Amino acid sequence: MDDHKTNSESGPKQGRLSIKPKPRLGNFLYYLGLTTLIGGLGAAIGYYAGAYGIRWLPTMLQILLSVCIVSLFLIVAGRLTEGSARKHTEKGLKVRRRVVFCISLVSLLIVARLAVFWTQQACPLTSLPPEQFNEVFISDMDNYKQYDKAIDQYLVTLEDYSNRFGPDKDRILTPDEERLLRDIWLGMYNYAVAIDQIRIFYEDWYRFDPSRAQASFHQRSFLLTFAAELSLYEKSMRFIKLVSEYPNVVKFLNTPFPDNHLGKGSYNNFTRQFQGARDSSRVLAGKHYLTWMETALKGRQVAKDNNCTWLMEKVKLQLALIGEESTVDLASMSVKSDLQILKQAAGRIWYPAQKGVASLMGNTRVRRIGKYLITYDQQEEMDKHLMPGDILVSRKNWFLSNVGLPGFWPHAILYIGSVDKFDEYFTDAQVSQWLKEVTGNDITLSDYLQSRFPTRWKRYTIGSENHPYRVIESCKYGVILNTLPKACGDYMAALRPKLTKKAKAQAIVEAFSHLDKPYDYNFDFATDHALVCTELVWRSYRPAQGKEGLTIPLKNIAGRKTLPANEIVKHYAVNKETDKSQFEFVYFLDAVENEGKTFVSTENALLDSYNRVKWSFAAE
């Protein structure tokens, strides 16, 4: 019995489960459970954060980095406290690898935490309130589209003309070829400045949270800055390919053009600025991020919801155009562009008005969106001196409209005054006689315009936003009636044609006939289905049978006859003391950008204003 009892006690007990210890599996299950618990808790916190719209960047990331830093610090502190942070070796005490790894990881996380803090510092882009961001973005997106189209038109002109250069690539350019190349180069330069300012302003896109809290701001900003980057890269590549084979063309483009404030070596700086290895790497990096944005961030849906699908398609089209160039050609072009650094000691920014101007513009241009230097009181005081038929020239710093036209003054406007001033001014015998000849009745000019253009006249009499309509101008919205507060900018001058009231009445009637026509981004004075700002003024005052007018000569730019607003002021200044004089001085509101003020200036100051540097703030 004793043997039986002993065997039964030493053997397996009936009805009990025997488990063999497995330390590794146990540790695995322990840490798996711990990880699952932490993951579940993290998911709950993430759901809570998402429900309350807490940003992933920087809020959640900052929290996670901070928690990780504290956790790893506690681990290291715990190991040091229990004495297991070091081990005895033949060479003495040595810090364990896991502790070194934790300390290194803490250091990296601290650097990452500082990096997140740095990326979230305020900048002009992220400082915009959501409503203003939407307004600015729509405006800049529309401007980008027009600037890109304008450069493309210059390239088409150059491509067409380059076919006639002939096989002799070393021949001297003719005067006509020099004139054409100069116009194309200056036009491309101005539009490239405008596009690059858009690129610079939106290149802080990464400061927006990519999660749902700021996804639309993040992705739209990226698309616009990347589209601008690609436009500059693709179009500069086309331009360089067209002219680089002609040594005398390159030599000509590198010469200074002091009248247009374009310095020596501008072509070399241009190639280095937009075709270097840095630009190639940005294109490649942007392409990869675009793919990730589409797949991980639902970029296509975000673009659709924000009415900028065309912008994403534009980016893909430009990537495809760039991709058509062989890798060898692109690499060769990048190397040649980078080597220009060794050939010419020049700054990074190629814009010659003044070193660093483009960067300054990029940082400042949107700070005064909708806010200009000319005050309301100054506008009203100036209006007391104006009469219907006056021609206004204006300028808005940082607002890069009409950038393809040379000179300090980019915009021209026809002043008509408020309805009361209009009626009083045109109570004139000559005007009445002309109207009777035209209609057969004794009517006023107001009655005549109301009968010919009833809808437009009613719009004029109603005004806008408690302000009367006082001007007719052509802007990106087309030919419109506008108020003085919206038409004014940072500089404005008024010139009075030396014509009769009858001639001015006829000019205003002509201007009314062009209302609601689109803006002419081709600057083509040969047709009137669309009008640029100066074309509206030019056509309104163009002489005809039975109609006095102004004879301001047009200027050939890139093969087309046009009239920059700066030429109107130049014509007035050059011919002031001659029998060709057609204008009288009325008023000049000058400005000092750096001081943020506008003041009433003199006729002498206006006479010389057409010679000012195009980027006026660079000279102040």
Provide the domain limits for residue 300.
130-364
- The residues, ordered by sequence, that sit 6+ positions from 520 with a Cβ below 8 Å of its Cβ are 474, 530, 531, 532, 535
Q: Is residue 440 part of a domain?
A: no
* Angle formed at CA 80 by CA 77 and CA 83, multiple of 5 degrees: 150
Q: What is the pLDDT of residue 245?
A: 83
CA 481/CA 515 separation, integer angstroms: 8
- Domain tally, the chain: 3
Write down the pLDDT at residue 524.
Answer: 75
Question: Is 457 part of any domain?
Answer: no
579 in any annotated domain: no
Task: Report helix, strand and coil shares of the chain as percent, to nearest 5.
Answer: 60, 10, 30
Q: Choose among 88, 606, 134: nearest CA to 392.
A: 606
390 and 493 share a domain?
Answer: yes
More confident residue, 177 or 515: 515
Same-domain pairing of 204 and 319:
yes
Is the model's pLDDT at 337 over the cut of 60?
no
Residue 21 lies in a domain: no
**Does residue 252 register a pLDDT over 50?**
yes
Helix (H) or strand (E) holding 7: helix 2-10
DSSP reduced 3-state for 531: strand
Which phi and psi (to 5°) does residue 452 adopt?
Answer: -80, -40
As a whole number, mean pLDDT of residues 412-427 equals 96
Look at 391-405, 522-536, 576-590 and tell me which has the smallest mean pLDDT: 391-405
For the segment 287-326, what is each residue's pLDDT rounded down to a tens digit?
888 988 888 878 888 889 888 899 999 999 999 988 876 4
Among residues 93, 119, 145, the one where a domain terminates is 119
Pick from 169-173, 238-242, 266-270: least confident: 169-173
Q: Could you tell me if residue 553 is left (phi over 0), alpha (psi between -120 and 50 degrees) or otherwise beta? A: beta
Q: What are phi and psi of 393, to 5 degrees?
A: -120, 140
Task: DSSP for 394-439, please give it.
Answer: EE-TT--TTTTS-SS--EEEEE---HHHHHHHT--HHHHHHHHHHH
| C-alpha to C-alpha distance for 203 and 220, rounded to whole angstroms | 11
Residue 586: predicted pLDDT: 98
Q: Which amino acid is at 55?
A: R
* Same-domain status, 487 and 615: yes
Residue 491 forms beta bridges with which residues? 395
Is 540 part of a structural domain of the chain? yes
**How many helices (H) and strands (E) would you count in the chain?**
24, 11
Mean pLDDT of 209-218: 78
Say whether both 391 and 336 belong to one domain: no
Do residues 278 and 400 both lie within one domain?
Answer: no
Do 355 and 275 sit in the same domain of this protein?
Answer: yes
Of 310, 333, 364, the one marking the end of a domain is: 364
Query: What CATH number is attached to the domain comprising 473?
Result: 3.90.1720.10
Residue 117 has pLDDT above 90, yes or no: no
Last residue within a domain, chosen from 89, 119, 149: 119
pLDDT confidence band for 617 (50 / 70 / 90)? very low
Helices 175-202 and 215-243, packing angle to 10 deg = 160
| 210 pLDDT tier (thresholds 50, 70, 90) | confident
User: What confidence tens digit (pLDDT) does each residue in 379-392 have?
Assistant: 999 999 999 999 99
CB-CB contact of 273 with 348 (8 Å)? yes
* 181 and 319 share one domain: yes
Specify the 3-state DSSP secondary structure of 482: strand
Task: Kindly state whether residues 402 and 342 are assigned to the same domain.
Answer: no
Domain check: are 215 and 281 in the same one?
Answer: yes
Residue 560 confidence (pLDDT) above 90 = no
Is 453 inside a domain boundary? no
% of the chain surpassing 90 pLDDT:
34
Same domain, 512 and 559: yes
Quick one: which of 513, 505, 541 has its CA closest to 433? 505
Give Cα separations from 160 to 150, 180, 237, 558 (angstroms). Answer: 16, 12, 17, 12
Order the strands of the 411-415 sheet from edge to edge: 478-483, 469-475, 411-415, 391-395, 491-497, 583-592, 597-600
State the DSSP string of 550-612: --PPPEEETTEEE--HHHHHHHHHHTTTSTT--EEEEEEEEEEGGGTEEEE--HHHHHTGGGS
60: in domain: yes
Structure tokens at 239: 């331009």
Same domain, 354 and 390: no
pTM: 0.59
Is residue 271 a part of any domain in this protein? yes
Quick one: 150 and 73 in the same domain?
no
C-alpha 301/C-alpha 212 separation (Å) is: 12
Tell me: the pLDDT tens digits for 442-470?
Answer: 999 999 999 999 999 999 999 997 899 99
Q: Is the pLDDT of residue 113 over 50?
A: yes
More confident residue, 106 or 418: 418
Q: What average pLDDT is seen over the chain?
A: 79
Highest averaged pLDDT of the listed ranges 77-81, 284-288, 585-589: 585-589
pLDDT class of 338 with cuts at 50, 70, 90 = very low
Mind listing the pLDDT tens digit for each residue in 469-521?
999 999 888 999 999 999 998 999 999 999 999 999 999 999 999 999 998 87
What is the full DSSP assignment across 267-300? Answer: HHHHHHHHHSHHHHHHHHHHHHHHHHHHHHS-HH
